[in-house]
Every structure is written in C-alpha cells, then in structure tokens.
Structure 1
Amino acid sequence: MLDLDRLPLSRKQLRSIGRATARINLWHGSVRSGKTIASLLAFAIAVATAGPSGLIVIAGRSLQTIERNCLEPLQDPALFGPLAHHIQHTRGATTATILGRTVHLIGAADARAEGRLRGLTAQLAYVDEATLMPEGFWTQLLARLSVPGARLFATTNPDSPRHWLKSGYIDRAAELNLRAWHFRLADNPSLSPEYVADLTAEYVGLWRRRMIDGAWVVAEGAIYDQWDEAAHVVDTLPPMRRYWCGLDYGTTNPFAALLLGEGADGRLYVCAEWRHDSKIAHRQMTDAQYSAAVRAWLAGWTHPDDQTTPGVMPEWTFIDPSAASFIQQMWQDGHPGIARADNTVIDGIRSVSSLLTSGRLLVHRSCAGLLEELPGYSWDPTATARGEDKPIKIADHSADALRYVVHSTAHEWRHLLTAHQEPPT
C-alpha cells in the first residue's frame, strides 16, 4: 500500500521520509519543490504504524485549505498510488479517515483557534502552511502531543527570518528534538523546464527568493522597489478588451476607486482614478453619495481615443470586504458585478509586484493619488522586527484599491506573465 519505490520521488524526498522520526519534523522551502508530497507520505506512514492511544490531527489555516492542500493530494492516485483509495473524506466534514484511522481536521485562522486544542491528547499531528498558524496554536498543539513517541509533521513556505517558526524552532534545531529539510524548486525533478521558467516569471524580488529559492529573507524598505515612473507611467492608452474596478472605502480616510483595463497589447492599465478625501474637501459623504459618485464617474469616463462612446461598465467591481454597508448600498443601487475583494495582503502585494516587474502593469498619468502613494508604500519596520510582513498603514488607499482589483482578477491575467512580449521602454 505504501510502496515508495513505485512513486516518482527524489533522493531528498526519500531521505526526509525515512528520517522523519523526531518529535518535530519540518519541510520548508519553495513552492512546488516536492516538500508537501514528502511530508504527507511521512505522515501517512506514521498513521499506518501508530498505536491506538491519542488522537490524530491535521491543522491548517482553514478547513478548505486542509482539503485542498492535504486531503485532495492524498486522494490522487497519480501522486500516491493505492494509498489514495484508503483516504475517505466528505467535503465540509471536520474528520477524515486515513488508512482506517479517524483524523480530526482543525482550522486555525487566528489565536482563538487555540481553544479547540484544550483537553486534547494527540499522538500525531500534521500542520499545513505552518508560518500562517498563530504561534499560540502551534505551542498548544505541541503541548498536546503528549503520548509517548508523539510526532508533529509540518510544511511551510519561507517567511521573514525573524518569524517565530524560523527563530524559535528551525534555528534551534540542534537544541530541540527537531529535524528540518530545506527544499528548492530545483529539488523537484518531475517539473518540466517550461513550467519552472513560467513559475519563476511569476515571482519577483523578495517573493522570488522566498518562493523559488526557498530563502527566509526579510522584507525591508519600499514594497514596490521595482516601481519606476519613467517605465510604468503612460500618457496614452491602447484599445481595451475589458475592465474591472477596485474600491477602497473610507469616511474620515480617503475613498479611492481605480479602473483597471486589459489592453489589446496584452498589458494591464490603471486607466483612471476617482478619490474623495473628506479632510481636504471638508465634507464627509454617505454610502448613498459614494455609490452615486462612483457610478457617475464610470458613466462619464471615456477612453482618450474614443470620445464618442462615453461610459464604461466594469465586468466586476471589487470592494474593500470590510465595507459591508457600502457593498449593500451598491447592490441596492443596481450596480452590476459587485464582489468582495480578495484582501489577502501579502499575496495581493506579490501579484502587483509580479506585474510591475514584468512590465505588464502600467498606470495612466491622470491617476494622481496612486502615483503619489506607490513610491512611498513601505514595509513596517516594527512588524518586520516581530517577524511579520506588513505595510505601513499611511497613504495607502489607492494602493489598496490597486491590490484589491489586481489580486482579485489574478486568474484572468496570470497568463500575461509568461507571454513573450518585450517590457515597456
């Protein structure tokens, strides 16, 4: 059932599986480097040989990420052969059956998840995306692994070198009952050269070092350090194939709306911007007034080269998910294609960074607020010192609107990163 010789594993994967006998076993490194497959196999072997005492747990950011990152791969015969037929799970259920053993699935989105471990005695645990776990949850889980011979298996992409997992555990491996294996993209021999090249093109700067090289590197200084006004700002726009809109809501803070278009030349363009700063205007606006203003702005905007066709209707309008009352107002006013923006900050920044570096994202000179914010959009050094990547929350309203609309449409433009076009000059 667990015949490793029949699986296409690298020597590094096989070594890590065979040596995963410490109390804490950690696979870390770049995306698609083979670390997850190795860690899941090691965990499955441990489940197959575990005694009857103590619970078995899989923890992740959410139940959905556990299903996607752990259970679905385990159920894939192409990856795990006959083992896949011994994994049973009903989507949405908080337990699964692996090799006849009941496994409890625990989402740990915030510090409150620690309470779900109280009173639990475990013999095996698997943690998906460990750097995303609250430190208190991780500490409590280790405390609950109290059965003799209990083991924890975990996998993660790198983060800041000051992250608690790096400084408190990986760097102290010699002091702890811990084994860690570092994987790079090149460690996965099953990937084609074309795929490696395409994936490498999707990550730039800090993200390339983390996600491709598997390095634990610090975020510091300007977030968009590749920003170059001479290269990224344009005075003209090509014909557009489609449009989307991103909105960052504010009452005492500025309200920012951006119109993003996909040009016929295969690049994305921030075509226009609408902002209201109540401190400058000395007047706050209600949700109804904001809705009317945004809809009027879109209805009145014209492409600079097509003045005969006023108005634009974005396919989707992505709104700050915390602005529930404004989202409701836009629905009531009949604005089509309303969606809550994907507000995953770090992933959103990475999406914008990739487009800027590849020359696939340009900004029209009329977007004054965005052009003012982008050069100063910086990492928070206080958060960096704590091992966290967070932007400084100052002058970031148009930058947030950009992140909302870019990251929420990533599935629509991802192919542009690997298109063989010359960057702008």
Structure 2
Amino acid sequence: MMSDPSLSDKQLSSIRSATARINLWHGAVRSGKTIASLLAFLLAIAVAPSSGLVIVVGRSLQTIERNVLDPLMDPAIFGRYAAAVQHTRGSNTATILGRTVHLIGAADARAEGRLRGLTACLAYVDEATLIPQEFWTQLLARLSVPGARLFATTNPDSPRHWLKLDYLDREGDLNMRSWHFRLGDNHTLEPDYIRSLHAEYVGLWRRRMIDGAWVIAEGAIYDMLDDERHIVTELPEITRWVSCGVDYGTTNDFVALLVGLGADRRLYVTAEYRHASRTAHHSLTDAEYDRALRSFLQQHRAAPDWLVVDPSAASFIEQLHRTGMANLAPAENSVTDGIRTVASLLSAGRLRIHASCEGLIREMTSYSWDPKASERGEDAPLKIDDHGPDALRYAIRTTEALWRPYVPTHLEVAA
C-alpha cells in the first residue's frame, strides 16, 4: 500500500509523518489530501490503543458515507484493504480492520453534546471547516487516551476562520502537523478533468478550491456578469422547463424566476414575476401570491419540472399544497454552494438572462459579500436587494441533478 506509485511524494510524506496529536490535510479539491489522510487513518486504526473509541466525524452521516466510507470500501482505491471495511448504509457505526468505528454527524453546535462522557483514542474529521468550533474543541478534549490522534481534512475557507487562526496559524505552539496540497500534487488527474475544474470554480472558489488559498470573500459576487455575454433579447427554443425559483416576501419583494434549458444546451432565465410591497404600497396574501404565480406560469405556457420555494416560507408552501400545486419542493438553501454554482455557469457562458428580467439583472450587478461577516470568518452576501439572486440560486442549485447532464461544464471558446 505504501509503495503505490500513484501516490505523490507529498502524500507519502504526510502519511509517514502523521504522528502528531492533530494532523491536518488542507488545500485544493481533488489534490490527493483525502486519500492520503484515509491511508494514514487506516494505519492508525491498525495500531490504535485498545482502550478508547475510534470516531469519524462529518457534517452528516450521509457526508461521512460519501466522503469517507465509500472511498475506503472501493477496491479500485484501497485494494484488498477495502474488504476490511464493513458498513450498512444508514448505520451510525462501521467496522474497520475489526475495530468498531462510531460515526457522528456534527451539523451545528448542539452536536457537541454527543461527545459528552466518552473517551476516544482516534478521530477522523471530514471537512473540518464545516464542523462547529465547539464540537472540535470538545472532540480534542475527549481524545484523552495516551497517544491519541486526530486526523482531519478541509478545503480552505476564510483566513479568519477559527481553524486557520487558532490552529494552522499556531501550529508551532501545538502538537500539530499540517500539509498543504495543490491540484498538481495529485498525479492521477486527467488534463480534461483539470480543465473542467478550472471552468467550474471561478473567483473566490477558484482561489480556494483550485489554488488552495485561504482568502477572504470580498467585493462583487457576480463580477463575471457581462451585458453582452449574459443578457439576451431573444430566446432559443426551450426544450425543457427546468424550474421556477421563488423567493417569498411580504414586506420584502416576492420574486419568481422561470428557468429553461435551451436547445443550445444553456440555461436561460426567461421571465421574472416580482411584487414589491414597498413600491406598490400594499402586501398580497398567500392566496393572492398563489394565483399570481399560477397566472405567471400560464402566461409563459410553462410547466416547470420543479417549483422551488424559499424553505422559510412555510405558510406559502402550505398554501400551494392545499391548492394542488404539482412538483413543489423546498429550496436547497446552502448559500455559498448555490452562489458558486450560479457563478460557475456564468463564467462558463452556460447561463443567460432575458433582458425583461430587469429586477434580477439590477440586483445581480450589486450583489456583494458582507465585509462584517468576512471579519467574523464567515462567507455571507449582504442582505440588501438579494431577492432575485436568492430565487436564482434556489432554481439552479436545487435542480442541479436534473440539468447537469445536459449542460456542458467546460468553458466556451466563444459565447
């Protein structure tokens, strides 16, 4: 295993020297850090003390299964060692090299309570920047068996993130080792795949996910938006109505955006419905919004695969259910993931907006990162005139599995 020629020198070095109390692999996506960390974790399990628990931590059980257990159980990656990993999908334990391993999801600070009272000898943390700081601190406290070790991976985040400030920047003061990985450290990637990654990650995400840099989110979010390239006055044949994204508002604007797949294999925001209560000097009820939304879809002769609604709009979703609205789904509301998906489509020339969507276009050009959130080590847009951008990321991100097979990810030579 350790002499596998597909492993880079950096991967091999990190595996051999992961003997500190805290061992952290960080850097670009697909740079080889996860495979190196998992190999080191397997070796650590083989020699772990018999006292104390072995723990794997992730944002959720599903992410642990996808990012940790699935690779460990893949013979193409780990050869004969894959057979030494057993797990039943949905179970909160696994068996690795004969050792029971406890799987803990840590989506918020309340998860810290799951660690109370236990003693651990070994822990693996997937995507450490997504784990609450309180959980991380409690986990370190529970690693109290002599020789206990923690292994963790992460992509870069804000340079003011607690993991960067309190651990990476203080590595010399701690019993800690870290390894920074770049895309070139993975020798197994094909050139076409690398080109696709460069097209998919733009701006902030390119610097973090491709360059592996801990950089702050600042300035305009959609700085790649260009009138000549992205705003159109004519639409191609729409082969499929993918979604209608809705950002619900009572005192704030209510926005619905209709998104279709063009015959040219691009996504198009074809139309916008907007009710601005402050400008109109009156609010609409849920029933009135329901009728307005149906009228909007009928006007454009569209029956979208999914009507994707702001997940916080519980009363409006209930209204739509009562009146029999089909294919209704609460939006996937990971803000930064949604922004990244929209930004990558714009950068690749695969998303265009009809000129009639004036409110959306106006808001997209002013949509910016919140500098106060950045000071706290968080990535968040300013909550000012964000109704159209919110509806857009709802419509695009929530339905990605539907449109992704039909929309090329590579960068267009000419738009």
C-alpha offsets along residues 117-163 of structure 1, whole Å, 9 cap, x if unaligned? 11121111100000001111111111111111111000001111111
Q: Following the alignment from structure 1 to structure 2, what is the Cα–Cα distance between the partners of residues 16 and 266?
A: 43
Structure 2 residue 276 is the aligned partner of structure 1 residue 277: yes
Measure, in 2, the Cα distance between the counterparts of 1:51 and 1:188. Answer: 32
Contact 2:348 2:412 in 1 (8 A): no
Q: For 2:151, which of 150, 153, 158 is the aligned residue?
A: 153
* Deviation of the 1:280 alpha carbon: 2.0
> CA-to-partner distance for each residue in 1:171-223, whole Å, 9 max, x for gaps?
11111111111111111111111111112211111111111111111110111
Work out the CA distance in 2 between the residues paired with 1:105 and 1:298: 45
Verify: 1:318 aligned to 2:318, yes or no.
Answer: no
Identify which of 350, 370, 389 aligns with 2:360. 370
Q: CA deviation at 1:375?
A: 1.2
Partner residue, 2:409: 418
Q: Is the 8 A contact 1:240 1:262 kept in 2?
A: yes
Q: Which amino acid aligns with 1:398?
A: G
Tell me how far apart the structure 1 counterparts of residues 413 and 403 of structure 2 sit (CA, whole Å). Answer: 17
For the pair 1:23 / 2:13, whether they are aligned, the reply is: no
Name the SS of the counterpart of 2:271 in structure 1.
strand
Matching residue of 1:383? 373
> Does 2:254 align with 1:255?
yes
Q: How far off is 1:417 after superposition? A: 4.1
CA contact (8 A) 2:199 2:410 kept: no
CA contact (8 A) 1:201 1:417 kept: no
| Percent identity (aligned) | 64
Q: Offset of 1:420 from its aligned partner?
A: 6.6
**Root-mean-square deviation (Å):** 1.4
* 1: CA distance, partners of 2:147 / 2:340: 40
Alignment of 1:90-109 (within 5 A): 90-109=88-107
Name the CA distance, whole Å, in 1 between partners of 2:411 and 2:117: 56
> What is the distance in 2 between the residues matched to 1:142 and 1:417?
44
The aligned residue for residue 62 of structure 2 is 64
Q: Confirm or deny that 1:336 pairs with 2:326.
A: yes
The answer to whether the 8 Å contact 2:199/2:347 transfers is no
Structure 1: how far apart are the matches of 2:144 and 2:6? 34
Q: TM-score, normalised by structure 1?
A: 0.94
Partner of 2:172: 174
Partner of 2:386: 396
Structure 2 CA distance for partners of 1:393 and 1:154, relative to 1, 3 Å: same
Matched, 1:239 2:266: no
Residue 326 of structure 1 and its aligned partner are, at CA, apart by 1.8
Could you list the runs of 5+ residues in structure 2 that have no partner in the other structure? none
- Matched letter for residue 338 of structure 1: L
Name the CA distance, whole Å, in 2 between partners of 1:334 and 1:123: 54
Aligned length: 413
SS at match of 2:326: coil
Are 1:355 and 1:417, in contact at CA under 8 Å, matched by a contact in 2?
A: no
Q: How does 1:113-124 map to 2 (within 5 A)?
A: 113-124=111-122
Q: CA deviation at 1:411?
A: 2.9
Shift of 1:83: 1.1
